Amino acid sequence: MTRSPFMPLLLAAASAGIAAAPVAAQVPAAPIKSTAEDEAEQRLHTDWAWLGRYREANAALVPSAAPRIVFIGDSITQGWIDKLPGFFTPDRVNRGIGGQTTSQMLLRFRQDVIALKPAAVQIMGGTNDIAGNTGPMTAEDTQANIMSMAELARAHGIRVILASIPPADHFPWRPGLETAGKIARLNAWLRRYAAETGALYADYWGALHEGDALKPALTYDGVHPNDAGYRAMGPVAEAVIRAALAKPAPKGLAR
């Protein structure tokens, strides 16, 4: 075959074209979510307050010989039974759900507290409100949710214990967020509101703090108590439960 005199030029042009072809941009791979994160994301769209979390456990509860106390809250409440299950005797019912705000707690208050017919309820929330876990919230939003839960409890003859927000000078999942001042202001309000309404105030902050922070020996991340932290909270809880049960039950709704 006769070689065309233009062949070297064509080959050179082709080579240059190949070399000049743009390289496809490398798109960073999306971070891989854990199964728990995927489930949590899906649940926000299907059961925002996680009403199904304790449905079966609530149905399976049997009457207690002693007055029943329900603890409703977020991960700090849930972690209590995870780390020190012995604190929760048959008359003490833990209804904590990690990550929850007081808005979510209020939504499930009827089925996870009122329907269980306790003598008293401990309400512990606010950490995740400050963090904005379900969107921006003001202190007034948090206060309104807590007032609504307390009012619902009193309307059903349930004594109310308002738990302080534990100390934290940072939230690992919200870098740079100012926390200590917001916690202090909400705790001051909780103490005043408890006094004004005849509720009990459980001062866990006082048992756990070192300055504005949670004592390093009592936490594993600066926010959540470890085993020693929950043991430090125990005497506060025992004292406030005794004081609550010594009070007459609220009259509740007229029947």
Residue 105, domain member (yes or no) = yes
The conformation of residue 239, written as its DSSP 8-state character, comes to H
Residue 114, domain member (yes or no) = yes
pLDDT at 252: 80
Containing structural domain, residue 83: 69-246
- The model's pTM is 0.84
In this structure, what are the phi and psi dihedrals at residue 118, rounded to the nearest 5 degrees? -80, 160
pLDDT at 30: 56
Residue 151, domain member (yes or no) = yes
CATH number of the domain that residue 186 is part of: 3.40.50.1110
CB-CB contact of 200 with 193 (8 Å): no
Residue 51, domain member (yes or no) = no
Give every CB contact of residue 87 below 8 A, 6+ residues apart in sequence.
Answer: 80, 81, 230, 234, 237
- 71 forms beta bridges with 94, 122
Q: At what angle do helices 139-155 and 180-197 cross, to 10 degrees?
A: 30
Q: Report the domain count for the chain.
A: 1
Rounded CA separation 91/158 (Å)? 14
Residue 31, domain member (yes or no) = no
> Taking the chain (255 residues) in consecutive chunks of 10 residues, what is each chunk's mean pLDDT?
47 44 52 68 79 95 94 98 96 97 98 98 98 97 98 98 98 96 98 98 98 98 98 98 97 70
pLDDT at 18: 41
CB-CB contact of 150 with 247 (8 Å): no
pLDDT at 12: 45
In this structure, what are the phi and psi dihedrals at residue 200, rounded to the nearest 5 degrees? -100, 145
Of 56, 76, 54, 62, the closest CA to residue 117 belongs to 62
- Sheet containing 120-124: order of strands: 92-96, 69-73, 120-124, 159-163, 200-202
Residue 253, domain member (yes or no) = no
